Structure 1
Amino acid sequence: MTKENFHESPIEKEEEISINVAEIFQAIKSHFILILAISVTFAALGAVYSLTIPNEYVSTVKLLPEIDSKSAGSNLGGLKSLAGLAGVDLGSGSGVDVVRPEIYPSVLQSTPFLQEALKSNIYVQKRKKWLSVYDYLITSPELPPIQLFGAKSDELKKDENPTILPKEGLSPELIKLNKKELAGIINLKKRISAETDKKNGMVTISVKLTDPVAAATLISFTQNYLTKYVTNYRTEKARKELNFLQDRHEESRKTYDNALSRLSAYKDQHRNTFLQVAKDQEKKMQYEVDLAFNIYSSISTQMADAAVKIQRETPVFKVLEPAQISLEKSEPKRSIITIGFLFFGLFISLVIVFFKTINLKQVLSSK
């Protein structure tokens, strides 16, 4: 490198802009009132904005569901033993509960649940009466201390003409929502949440509403819905089997009663008959009675087994932390919002002072 590279020319020294800390403090001191006014104004705006947000209360419940990890061969019982005697191995493969806790949050975010939740009733402490969740969120929502913007009820009232659907050809499971119902579902979906701890399977359900008692009431409904949903899912097959056996049990009982009545009537009619034909006919009818009784008895046993199976498949939910009525609001943090606006106003004021103090023409001409 040459010697000239280590020395700056006089022109470069003139174009160099030095930062003087004393001048910065002098500029801030001279514009202190402006900085203070802008910062206080933004802080006031932040305070007003925080009052446009209604208070929210969170209620939480923690559940420890039963995770059924069972052997598929254990359900075969005696059939597996008989198959072993015949030289057939049915195996002892393991079966795992298909209703894992990981899907519980999806259940509580599904449209069928949210529709049921909108229809449920909650007690609103501030109004001292029971309201449906739909009315509480859509028809007459809780208003913040200061309302700057109009409610959306006028927009929702425009949906007076429902969509016309054909009466036939559609699936019965098709869900049709109007604007108000859709708005309620979207609102409620943000207020109900669930998390699953993958390590221990614990499920945490949270509900956030603008009334603490209403939040606790809604989380109780959510807990009951989830436990019933999982129970019905786990026991659905066993219940269908029990219903089938009950129908067959009634049919087999009638068959047995009819066969026994025919046998009794035949014996009464042929009491003094010694013909071999009559005896053979009586044996045949007795065989029908025995067969009908065996079927009736077998179905009765299977019914008892099915009832036990339903009880065995019913899951257990242990409540680790029951729902509580929140005494303190969870949001908004009005002090944090006000302080945030204050610092933002301070930053804006410093930028204004900077551009008021610096000589932009000199900077631009130096370039």
Structure 2
Amino acid sequence: MSTDAISPLLYPDLMASTDFVVSLFPVKITTEDGELSTDYYTYIYQHQKQSIWSVPFNWIRGQLKAFSELFADEEKTSGEGGKIDAFRLSEEQKKVVDFIKGNVQCSIDKKTNVISIVVQDQDPLVCASMADTVSARLQEFITRYRTNKARIDMEYYENLSRKAKLDYEDALARYGAYSDANLNIVRKETELKQTVLENEMQLKYNTYSALNTQLQAAKAKVQERTPAFTTLQCATVPLKPDGPKRMLFVLGMMLLTIFILSLYAIRDYLLKD
């Protein structure tokens, strides 16, 4: 914990932001069976398996959408190809963003500041790959945020030092050329001109030396501000699915069957009376 504007407690909100989720769209993934290799956006949007009870609802939704598209000329945007504008998402992109937000979860222990990242996907290899990617993206963002001011200073001193070096080399060249051209000439005017050029060269060198010292200090500051991360538990390909719970599903279907059969039996009993 520090005086940073973005403290570790805000990392879950950061990962839930639209900009962070959209940055995951072009990530390349491969399924465990090796039959599909595409970007994460296409995988989520086009290659998700549907549950049995969602098929009729998705069919009706698809028919309504196809009907509405007859009267609306909407520009389609895919996750692969052109750059996606996180400020203005299409309807399909917004659905994918919401879906990924539900799949990628981040939590932090307030006592230890340990960050836990949980990713759920239908394919185990995709799941583990995205967990690694999300972890790397979060570390990259934190590093970029914490070193931003130091990197700006470093780039500033790099530009000044580069320009000072060119000025010094130019002054050195002019001093050397003038000295060689007037090597055997003993005149007061020549000596004065040579002294002026020598002093100018020395000033340029002093400026370059001072800026180079500040540049090295800025580079050390970047290194000082760069956080070190330790992975307590790496992402692994899961061997068993986390859901849906088969036993709960079977139990639920049994209870539903018993309820329907009971209603049917009661109905027959009342009709006979």
- Judge same fold: TM > 0.5, yes or no: yes
Q: For 2:142, which of 214, 230, 254 is the aligned residue?
A: 230
Q: For 1:216, which of 119, 124, 128 is the aligned residue?
A: 128
Counterpart of 1:137? Answer: 44
Confirm or deny: 8 A CA contact 1:126 1:211 kept in the other structure: no
Counterpart of 2:170? Answer: 258
> Would you say 1:199 and 2:111 are equivalent positions?
yes
Amino acid at match of 1:283: T
Question: How much does 1:229 deviate?
Answer: 0.7
> Would you say 1:187 and 2:99 are equivalent positions?
yes
Counterpart of 1:269? Answer: 181
Question: How much does 1:128 deviate?
Answer: 3.0
Residue correspondence of structure 1 range 285-324 to structure 2 within 5 A: 285-324=197-236
Distance 2:248 2:19 in 1: 38
Question: How much does 1:178 deviate?
Answer: 1.3
Distance 1:112 1:97 in 2: 20
- Give per-residue Cα distances to partners, 1:88-137, cap 9 Å, x unaligned: xxxxxxxx344421111112111122112122122212563322221221
Counterpart of 1:162? Answer: 75
Provide closer, same or farther for how the CA distance between residues 153 and 212 of structure 1 changes in structure 2, counting only shifts above 3 A. farther
Residue correspondence of structure 1 range 36-115 to structure 2 within 5 A: 96-115=3-22
- Give per-residue Cα distances to partners, 1:43-67, cap 9 Å, x unaligned: xxxxxxxxxxxxxxxxxxxxxxxx5
Confirm or deny: 8 A CA contact 2:22 2:86 kept in the other structure: no
Confirm or deny: 8 A CA contact 1:99 1:234 kept in the other structure: no
Distance 1:126 1:153 in 2: 29
**Equivalenced residues, count:** 252
Provide closer, same or farther for how the CA distance between residues 346 and 143 of structure 1 changes in structure 2, counting only shifts above 3 A. closer
Counterpart of 2:82? Answer: none
Question: How much does 1:248 deviate?
Answer: 1.3
Amino acid at match of 2:44: L
Amino acid at match of 2:36: K
Residue correspondence of structure 1 range 233-252 to structure 2 within 5 A: 233-252=145-164
Computed over aligned residues only, the root mean square deviation of the Cα atoms, in angstroms, reads 2.8
- Give per-residue Cα distances to partners, 1:174-211, cap 9 Å, x unaligned: 72211111111111111111001000000000111111
Question: How much does 1:344 deviate?
Answer: 6.4
Distance 1:220 1:160 in 2: 39
- Give per-residue Cα distances to partners, 1:243-301, cap 9 Å, x unaligned: 22221122111111111122122223333444333322222221111110011111111
Confirm or deny: 8 A CA contact 1:124 1:131 kept in the other structure: no
Unaligned 5+ segments in structure 1 are: 1-66, 70-95, 164-172, 358-367
Amino acid at match of 2:22: Q
Provide closer, same or farther for how the CA distance between residues 322 and 134 of structure 1 changes in structure 2, counting only shifts above 3 A. same
Provide closer, same or farther for how the CA distance between residues 174 and 143 of structure 1 changes in structure 2, counting only shifts above 3 A. closer
Counterpart of 1:119? Answer: 26
Distance 2:63 2:226 in 1: 47
Amino acid at match of 2:180: D
Distance 2:158 2:212 in 1: 9
Please say which of residues 116-125 and 146-155 is displaced more in the overlay: 146-155
Amino acid at match of 1:112: D
Confirm or deny: 8 A CA contact 1:156 1:179 kept in the other structure: no
Confirm or deny: 8 A CA contact 1:136 1:142 kept in the other structure: no
Counterpart of 1:6? Answer: none
Distance 1:303 1:297 in 2: 10
Q: What percentage of aligned pairs have identical amino acids?
A: 24
Question: How much does 1:145 deviate?
Answer: 5.8
Unaligned 5+ segments in structure 2 are: 77-84
Question: How much does 1:338 deviate?
Answer: 3.8
Counterpart of 1:93? Answer: none
Distance 1:211 1:156 in 2: 28
Q: Which structure is richer in relative contact order (CA contacts within 8 A, separation 6 or more)?
A: 1
Q: Give the TM-score normalised by the residue count of structure 2.
A: 0.81
Confirm or deny: 8 A CA contact 1:212 1:326 kept in the other structure: yes
Distance 1:308 1:156 in 2: 57
Counterpart of 2:35? Answer: 128
- Give per-residue Cα distances to partners, 1:209-260, cap 9 Å, x unaligned: 1111111111111011111111111112222222222211221111111111
